[in-house]
């Protein structure tokens, strides 16, 4: 865990521009360290784009913002081959997906065909253009935003796309005190001026490798599987979480343990990450929707019904 302090510095750096959202920033960092992708679902104007830019600037990785619209084509994201008359061959014109931090802004405003162009990149870290497959540079992370209250002109993300996101978060509105500080910072023109690169590509890869070495007891694995299995049999759930959800819960719990300074996972790590990892993957039953049940509420019920194991402390 030699590079843990560097990871904490990244979060402190982001706090300079994202005020009063420490828990949210921790989850963004967890997602990065767990080598996952993040879905940010919130109303406009709460700082989603600023947060992603602050992350990219803090870790000094290549960044691109893709504004998803109804006329956006898959080739606008992945790129395409263009014929070069002078040389008599095809030359690849890379799209924005070839960067390392991708802001997919208002992802639900484009067609399912264009949305699906992200699937291969998010799952396999590569892009197929015509007959050739191109590997994307690591670390690679997609942070997508969508407005949950706006339905006109939008295309809901299909289950296959949602399942590629390690977790879903929401910033929410700031408190009155935090909002005053946000106004002051914006008026002074600071915004991202106070954010400087404090880590690089090599640092992030080292941290991600250290996270992979975090110990997970077999009882913790059983706890993860138990939570996911309960989601599949719960009376209010029509479609439960997939095995990919189990893997993502495992990875995110390890990242949280790492940030907390432990080289092993405890049940509370799993319990804390489960709502953000599971909620966007679950589909409520028609009866539950009629009763006015919320997926967040059902997720908490699933966690409560799952037996919490007793794990012995790991001796160093």
* pLDDT tens profile 86-140: 777 778 889 999 999 999 999 988 888 888 888 889 999 999 888 788 999 999 9
Please check whether residue 236 is in contact with residue 284, taking contact to mean a CB–CB distance below 8 angstroms. Answer: yes
What's the DSSP call for residue 158? P
Q: What is the pLDDT of residue 149?
A: 61
Distances, alpha carbon 23 to alpha carbons 19, 86, 171, 172, 279, in Å: 11, 55, 9, 12, 17
Delineate the domains of the chain, giving CATH numbers in brackets: 4-203 (3.40.50.300), 214-305 (1.10.8.80)
User: Which string of DSSP letters, residue by residue, matches 265-308?
Assistant: --HHHHHHHHHHHHGGG-EE-HHHHHTT--HHHHHHHHHHHSPP
User: Which string of DSSP letters, residue by residue, matches 43-72?
Assistant: -TTSSHHHHHHHHHHHHT--EEEEE--TT-
Per-residue pLDDT tens over the stretch 136-189: 999 999 999 988 766 666 788 888 889 999 999 998 888 898 888 878 776 554
Nearest to 267 by CA among 228, 306, 301, 241: 306
Q: What is the pLDDT of residue 40?
A: 93
């Amino acid at each position: 865990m030699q590079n843990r302090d560097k990871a904490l510095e990244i979060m402190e750096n982001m706090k300079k521009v994202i005020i009063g959202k420490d828990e949210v920033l921790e989850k963004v960092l967890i997602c990065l360290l767990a080598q996952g992708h993040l879905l940010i679902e919130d109303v406009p104007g709460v700082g989603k784009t600023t947060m992603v830019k602050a992350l990219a600037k803090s870790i000094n990785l290549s960044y691109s913002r893709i504004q998803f619209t109804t006329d956006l084509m898959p080739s606008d994201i992945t790129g395409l081959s263009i014929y070069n008359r002078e040389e008599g061959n095809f030359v690849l014109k890379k799209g924005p997906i070839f960067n390392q931090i991708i802001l997919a802004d208002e992802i639900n405003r484009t067609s399912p065909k264009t949305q699906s162009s992200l699937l291969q990149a998010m799952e396999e870290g590569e892009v197929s253009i015509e007959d050739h497959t191109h590997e994307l540079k690591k670390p690679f992370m997609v942070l997508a935003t969508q407005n949950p209250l706006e339905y006109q002109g939008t295309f809901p993300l299909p289950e296959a796309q949602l399942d590629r996101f390690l977790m879903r978060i929401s910033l929410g509105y700031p408190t009155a005190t935090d909002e005053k500080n946000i106004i002051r910072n914006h008026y002074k023109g600071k915004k991202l001026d106070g954010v400087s690169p404090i880590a690089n590509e090599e640092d992030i890869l080292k941290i991600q490798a250290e996270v992979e070495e975090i110990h997970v007891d077999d009882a913790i694995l059983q706890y993860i599987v138990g939570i996911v299995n309960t989601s599949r049999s719960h009376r209010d759930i029509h479609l439960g979480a997939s095995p990919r959800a189990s893997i993502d819960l495992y990875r995110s719990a390890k990242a949280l343990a790492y940030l907390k300074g432990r080289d092993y996972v405890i049940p509370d790590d799993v319990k804390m990450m489960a709502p953000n990892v599971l909620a966007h993957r679950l589909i409520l039953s028609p009866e539950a929707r009629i009763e006015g049940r919320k997926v967040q509420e059902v997720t908490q019920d699933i966690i409560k019904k799952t037996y919490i194991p007793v794990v012995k402390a790991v001796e160093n």
